Amino acid sequence: MNIPTISNLKRVVIIGAGFAGLQVAKKLRRDKFQVVLIDKNNYHTFQPLLYQVATAGLEPDSIAHSIRNVIKKTKNFFFRLANVHYINTEKQKIYTNVGDLHYDYLIISTGSVTNYFGNNNIESFSLPMKSIPEALNLRSVILQDFESSLLIKDSKERERLMTFVIVGGGPTGVELAGALAEMKKYILPHDYPDLDIQSMNIHLLQATTRLLDGMSEESAKQAYKSLKELGVTIWLNCLVKDYDGKIVFMEKDKKIESSNVIWAAGVKGAIIKGFLKEDIMGHRILVDDYLKTIRYENIFAIGDVAYMKSYPNGHPMTAQPAIQQGNYLSENFNRCSSYQKNPFIYKNLGSMATIGRNKAVCDFPYFKLKGFLAWIIWMFVHLVSLVGFRNRVIALTNWIIQYFHYNKSVRLIIRPYHRRKNHLKKS
Amino acid sequence: MNIPTISNLKRVVIIGAGFAGLQVAKKLRRDKFQVVLIDKNNYHTFQPLLYQVATAGLEPDSIAHSIRNVIKKTKNFFFRLANVHYINTEKQKIYTNVGDLHYDYLIISTGSVTNYFGNNNIESFSLPMKSIPEALNLRSVILQDFESSLLIKDSKERERLMTFVIVGGGPTGVELAGALAEMKKYILPHDYPDLDIQSMNIHLLQATTRLLDGMSEESAKQAYKSLKELGVTIWLNCLVKDYDGKIVFMEKDKKIESSNVIWAAGVKGAIIKGFLKEDIMGHRILVDDYLKTIRYENIFAIGDVAYMKSYPNGHPMTAQPAIQQGNYLSENFNRCSSYQKNPFIYKNLGSMATIGRNKAVCDFPYFKLKGFLAWIIWMFVHLVSLVGFRNRVIALTNWIIQYFHYNKSVRLIIRPYHRRKNHLKKS
């Protein structure tokens, strides 16, 4: 890869520009390190709001931010758009689709991918929502289904098209179910007066005994109640066994007929080839209390992909631990030693989920909130967390208009058009 | 197609929801007609601003508007998302990918498509910009080229990647050249400090003796001057003969090496199968002074696709004649006769083009403007022409931020992801 070598500066290569990787990339001192950031996209994705792109609330520009625009001070900083294929820990090299690169230190912050738990049927028939193209695809599928419903005479088939099954009752599933239910309530009846929108069904399937496993019992109950009120059918203790594109098969011979299964049931670490089996635990890379990998002195893992053994079940695979780990590691590096004496301690600042208009739940360390105030706090926290002034302004403008207009205006079915220039195909 | 027949109401089928078709659809009286609007997209595209989507200035949600959201009063109105394959004028039927439909009156407002003048090489190697997916693709290609330029060692190849050739010196070509030149000036040097951005070349090729053929000599000269100042190389009297993906071949053995040829050299009517050769002139449907087709009493054509013989060379293929024709025709229909005594008269309200920050040219019937004031007027006219309050607010917010930040923030390379559910593939 075309990056100058500077003799007196160690090169730190960061793979992945999610919350964790971006944090390190921003904070590492460039007078001490040459920083190379690699990502398969040229933008950082604010994943907590992906569901709003999928439900026609926001366009990608509100929740994505050009990486080159985030990191403006470019001295000793290099961003490269590339897919990393594997790592050679002995040669200290990474191999990508655009060439190889030597590292002195390697920080792996590749995040996570959708976990289908090995079920190929589910993988090929259900719809994921882990990236911007996936969210845009989901948006188009939802809208296209309603257009198709108008044209289909077979009532059974129409019912399947108008039935949405969300698998996974975590924050993603809950927020998506809420947003879909609000579309059903406020938007679709106006858009499709010649369809019986009441026959649209939204199912939320959760494997455990309650929604929002990571949050308080109180918040889970409130989310359950609010979703019920919005007309969502909630299935608890419900394990999905299979899906053939038409029927969701659950345990105890239960079934739902649906053309639209959205899979939000789990994620797993996005591991790159080159690690030994022993260094991996449940699809995540094992790290010590200082976020260093067990085997290699110069390789670190942070964010979703990292599994700290000393923390029960590893840290939650959310933005907060990722940002805190990114911060911690950059501070360690900036002291010019890869270690500091204090191990990484995760501070849980709380968690929150929104269900719909004026409805959210927040768990903070010392108190809990629900309803309108929780919703305002949810919006505020998400707004200030967005990267970049412009993204905040555009997202806020959208939310204000939606709030007063009861409308989600990004109802555009935009299907891929991809003309790659022939002579570039080889690259 | 699944549309109820109402015995005492004549059915008007409108094909195409561009400026012309949307105007008729909005204005036709539903107590007199059943209105069916058909489009291949579920949104109306504000084509004059497509170049801003392509140059990372706006997201599609600013310039596209959900058709179901535009036409809110849905009594006796039906929108269907469909591709029309052909028309049977005898049976009074249209045939689409989702079934056939009988019409009493047919209004063809299919607009125009890119005209490659029969050159297959140009068609397969150059990049068009006539639709939102094409504009999004162009945006990704431009940004990807710079990412690739960083990785390529061969200087010849890098130069080709960084050379942009825009063919066509009409408003589209001029505005696109201006926007690219501004990216070169304000944005790319910050994004790509390790590239020599000065080696980026922008060529604008025009077949005739001047730019902006439809506008005044004065405005053409001003546009020429402004683009020159921005560093655009302008070629007049320059006919492109061929393009092989690497080299643009022009007349008199002139050549430009470039990987990026953007084709804005012409459009032609988007004609649907079912018309006789004699009814078509230069890829447009011949209409009389009342916008009725020559042969059929119940078929009308408006907008880009219509060619009124009595008007020299037909009306310009722009938004203004389309809107005026849509208005005129809906008024005729609403009087419950397909004719009125006064023929359609096109009122040229003026034309304008923007070149960049504070730079635009406007030709009005009684005066001409250039510079800052012209630019403000250009923005105002385009803002109020956008469909929908939200689109205006979002576009204005973007423009204000860009103006003060010297930044175009939608620099996202978003590549298609298309998981169509297998069982729907047949449809």
Chain B touched by A417 (CB under 8 Å): yes
A212-251, pLDDT tens digit by residue? 998 999 999 999 999 999 999 999 999 999 999 999 999 9
B404 falls in which pLDDT band (50, 70, 90)? confident
- Angle, helices B389-405 vs B372-385, to 10°: value is 150
Chain A touched by B73 (CB under 8 Å): no
Q: Do A415 and B412 touch (CB under 8 A)?
A: no
Q: Residues 224..253 of B with a Cβ closer than 8 Å to A: which?
A: 245-246
CB pairs < 8 Å spanning A and B: 197
Does the structure show a pLDDT above 50 at B14? yes
Chain A touched by B44 (CB under 8 Å): no
Cα–Cα dist A121/B160, whole Å: 45
State yes or no: is A175 an active-site residue: yes
Closest CA to B372 of B388, B384, B361: B361
Task: Catalytic residue, from A175, A218, A229, A251: name it.
Answer: A175
Chain A touched by B393 (CB under 8 Å): yes
Contacts of B61 in chain A (CB under 8 A): 59, 409-410, 412
Do B186 and B109 share a domain, yes or no? no
Q: Which residues pair with B242 in a beta bridge?
A: B249
% pLDDT > 70, chain A: 96
Chain B touched by A425 (CB under 8 Å): no
Give mean pLDDT, residues A1-20: 92
B292 secondary structure, DSSP code: B
CB nearest A127 (choices: B401, B411, B419)? B419
Chain A touched by B59 (CB under 8 Å): yes
CB nearest B133 (choices: A132, A389, A415)? A415
Would you say the C-alpha torsion A403, A407, A409, A411 has a positive or negative sign? positive
Task: Determine the distance in angstroms separating the CA of A354 from the nearest CA of chain B, rounded to an integer.
Answer: 23
Give mean pLDDT, residues A388-407: 85
Contacts of A391 in chain B (CB under 8 A): 409
Q: Which of A274-278, A282-286, A339-343, B193-197 has the lowest mean pLDDT?
A: A339-343
Do A224 and A288 share a domain, yes or no? no
Residue after which a domain boundary falls, among A241, A265, A289: A265
Q: Do A390 and B413 touch (CB under 8 A)?
A: no
Across chain B, what does the average pLDDT equal? 91
Do B94 and B18 share a domain, yes or no? yes
Does the structure show a pLDDT above 70 at B419? no
Query: Nearest-CA residue of chain B relative to A404?
Result: B390
H or E, element range at B220: helix B217-229
Give mean pLDDT, residues A368-392: 90
Q: Which of A275-289, A346-360, B148-162, B334-348 has the lowest mean pLDDT?
A: B334-348
Cα–Cα dist A2/B151, whole Å: 6
Domain annotation covers residue A339: no
Q: What interface predicted TM-score (ipTM) does this complex get?
A: 0.88
Give mean pLDDT, residues B220-245: 96
Q: Residues 118..157 of B with a Cβ closer than 8 Å to A: which?
A: 124-125, 127, 131-134, 136-137, 141, 143-144, 147-148, 150-153
Distances (CA, A) of A82 to A38, A42, B151, B166: 6, 9, 10, 29
- Six-digit token pair at B31? 């107590």
Task: Give the pLDDT confidence score for residue B416 in this predicted structure.
Answer: 61
CATH label of the domain that carries residue B135: 3.50.50.100
CATH label of the domain that carries residue A321: 3.50.50.60
Do A99 and A213 share a domain, yes or no? no
Task: Determine the distance in angstroms separating the CA of B187 from the nearest CA of chain A, rounded to an integer.
Answer: 9
**Residue B54, CA atoms < 13 Å, CB-side half-sphere:** 30
A54 falls in which pLDDT band (50, 70, 90)? very high
Contacts of A59 in chain B (CB under 8 A): 59-61
Chain A touched by B42 (CB under 8 Å): yes
Closest CA to B412 of B156, B124, B57: B57
Chain B touched by A365 (CB under 8 Å): no
Query: Nearest-CA residue of chain A relative to B260?
Result: A421
Cα–Cα dist A182/A174, whole Å: 12
B62-117, pLDDT tens digit by residue? 999 999 988 887 789 999 999 999 999 999 999 999 999 999 999 999 999 999 99
Across chain A, what does the average pLDDT equal? 91
Do B183 and B315 share a domain, yes or no? no
Given a contact cutoff of 8 angstroms between Cβ atoms, the answer to whether A129 and A52 are in contact is no
H or E, element range at B61: helix B60-63
Do A109 and A125 share a domain, yes or no? no
3-state secondary structure chain A: CCCCCCCCCEEEEEECCCHHHHHHHHHCCCCCEEEEEEECCCEEECHHHHHHHHCCCCCHHHHEEEHHHHCCCCCCEEEEECCEEEEECCCCEEEECCEEEECCEEEECCCEEECCCCCHHHHHHCECCCCHHHHHHHHHHHHHHHHHHCCCCCHHHHHHHCEEEEECCCHHHHHHHHHHHHHHHHHHHHHCCCCCHHHCEEEEECCCCCCCCCCCHHHHHHHHHHHHHCCCEEECCCCEEEECCCEEEEHHHCEEECCEEEECCCEEECCCECCCHHHEECCEEEECCCCEECCCCCEEECHHHEEECCCCCCCCCCHHHHHHHHHHHHHHHHCCCCCCCCCCCCCCCCEEEEEECCEEEEECCCCEEECHHHHHHHHHHHHHHCCCHHHHHHHHHHHHHHHHHCCCCCCCCCCCCCCCCHHHCCC
Domain annotation covers residue B391: yes
Does the structure show a pLDDT above 60 at B270? yes
Task: Give the pLDDT confidence score for residue A338 in this predicted structure.
Answer: 52
Give mean pLDDT, residues B314-337: 92
Q: How many domains does one find in chain B?
A: 2
Do A193 and A249 share a domain, yes or no? yes
Q: Do B191 and A66 touch (CB under 8 A)?
A: yes
- Six-digit token pair at B337? 């006769």
* Domain enclosing residue A244, as ranges: 120-265
Query: Nearest-CA residue of chain B relative to A399?
Result: B390
| Amino acid symbol at A44 | H
Task: Give the pLDDT confidence score for residue A340 in this predicted structure.
Answer: 62
Q: Which of A143-157, A333-347, B152-166, B274-288 has the lowest mean pLDDT?
A: A333-347
Task: Determine the distance in angstroms separating the CA of B166 from the nearest CA of chain A, rounded to an integer.
Answer: 16
Does the structure show a pLDDT above 90 at A44? yes
Domain annotation covers residue A357: no
Helix (H, G, I), strand (E, B) or coil at B177: helix
Q: Do A397 and B397 touch (CB under 8 A)?
A: yes
Does the structure show a pLDDT above 60 at B418? no
Give mean pLDDT, residues A382-409: 85
pTM to 2 decimals?
Answer: 0.91
| Amino acid symbol at B1 | M
Closest CA to A411 of B416, B20, B391: B391
H helix runs in B263-414, sequence order: 319-334, 372-385, 389-405
Provide φ and ψ at B206, rounded to 5°.
-125, 135
Do B366 and B232 share a domain, yes or no? yes
Helix (H, G, I), strand (E, B) or coil at B164: strand
Domain annotation covers residue B74: no
Do A276 and A301 share a domain, yes or no? yes
Closest CA to A260 of A120, A165, A174, A195: A165
Do A150 and A164 share a domain, yes or no? yes
| Amino acid symbol at A362 | C
Given a contact cutoff of 8 angstroms between Cβ atoms, the answer to whether A164 and A257 are in contact is no
Domain annotation covers residue A273: yes
Domain annotation covers residue B70: no
Q: Do A66 and B98 touch (CB under 8 A)?
A: no
| Amino acid symbol at B284 | R
A339 falls in which pLDDT band (50, 70, 90)? low
A159-176, pLDDT tens digit by residue? 999 999 999 999 999 999
Do A26 and A149 share a domain, yes or no? no
Distances (CA, A) of A29 to A39, A330, A332, B403: 20, 8, 11, 32
- Which of B41, B77, B81 to probe the A interface (max A CBs under 10 A)? B81
Do A155 and A261 share a domain, yes or no? yes
Given a contact cutoff of 8 angstroms between Cβ atoms, the answer to whether A189 and A196 are in contact is no
Opening angle at CA B405, ends B404 and B410, nearest 5: 125
Domain annotation covers residue B201: yes
Helix (H, G, I), strand (E, B) or coil at B386: coil
- Angle, helices B319-334 vs B19-27, to 10°: value is 30
Residue after which a domain boundary falls, among A312, A334, A356: A334
Q: Which of A43-57, A215-229, A407-421, B335-349 has the lowest mean pLDDT?
A: A407-421
Chain A touched by B6 (CB under 8 Å): no
Domain annotation covers residue A199: yes
Chain B touched by A97 (CB under 8 Å): no
Give mean pLDDT, residues B298-325: 95
More confidently predicted of A312 and A414:
A312
Q: What are the residue numbers of the active site of B?
A: 175
B97-109, pLDDT tens digit by residue? 999 999 999 999 9
Task: Give the pLDDT confidence score for residue B424 in this predicted structure.
Answer: 36
% pLDDT > 70, chain B: 96
Residue after which a domain boundary falls, among B334, B368, B391: B334
